[in-house]
Amino acid sequence: MAHKIAIIVGSLREGSINRKVARSICGLRGDNLDCSMIEIGDLPLYNQDLDANPPPQWTRFREQVGAADGVLFCSPEYNRGIPGVLKNAIDIGSRPYGQSVFDKKPGAIVTASPGAIGGFGANHQIRQAAVFLNMPLMQQPEAYLGHVTDDSFDDSGCLKEGPLKELVTKLAHAFHDWVEMIHRSRQLLAEDSAHAAAREKAHV
């Protein structure tokens, strides 16, 4: 069964390398990852005063993420940190208090940059927020993709053959397995609890 994955890209740039990496991850596990790019460029800035009567763009975003089995963040690093547009989206999804759409959703974080350290700073800032939001996050392979440029992709936007594609392929497989494991274990636990309750009832 294909898992529904919400992809949140932290770049609004038309030719974003992070968007291309996200598309590649979906393409490489197209049979098992049913991916949707969730747009964040139109989200009004988060303002707690609006929680009682949220803008329709917030509601659309929350519903789209809420309907997913897992979340994949693909983001650039801006000034060694998380791009504002992505932080805004995370804040919107996390509220109102107690109704976060990220809660318990398995996730993975990928950062890509032409620079050598592959957005390490942004990656860990996203991770910090996602851990706080109770998302079980894939730990390996880590995905600080350095030296990624337009030249890493062919004319149709697919990754060219080479070490980067090999790593992204591993990532795509690992992310599928991660989402599968989290959902399957929850299902087994729920079945165990149901059996235990039935046994207890039978003994009364």
Ligand X SMILES: Cc1cc2nc3c(=O)[nH]c(=O)nc-3n(C[C@H](O)[C@H](O)[C@H](O)COP(=O)(O)O)c2cc1C
Considering CB under 6 A, how many residues would be counted as binding ligand X?
14
Closest residue by Cα to residue 34 from 53, 15, 57, 6: 6
Instruction: Please check whether residue 125 is in contact with residue 88, taking contact to mean a CB–CB distance below 8 angstroms.
Output: no
Kindly state whether residue 184 participates in binding ligand X, applying the rule CB under 6 A. no
Kindly state whether residue 119 participates in binding ligand X, applying the rule CB under 6 A. yes
Q: In this chain, which of 5, 11, 82, 86 binds ligand X, going by CB under 6 A?
A: 11
Kindly state whether residue 16 participates in binding ligand X, applying the rule CB under 6 A. yes
Kindly state whether residue 54 participates in binding ligand X, applying the rule CB under 6 A. no
The smaller minimum CB distance to ligand X, of residues 71 and 179, is found at 71
Kindly state whether residue 104 participates in binding ligand X, applying the rule CB under 6 A. no
The smaller minimum CB distance to ligand X, of residues 80 and 184, is found at 80
- In this structure, is the dihedral angle defined by the CA atoms of residues 103, 55, 5 and 117, taken in order, positive or negative? negative
Kindly state whether residue 93 participates in binding ligand X, applying the rule CB under 6 A. no
Instruction: Please check whether residue 110 is in contact with residue 25, taking contact to mean a CB–CB distance below 8 angstroms.
Output: yes
Closest residue by Cα to residue 3 from 198, 147, 186, 201: 186
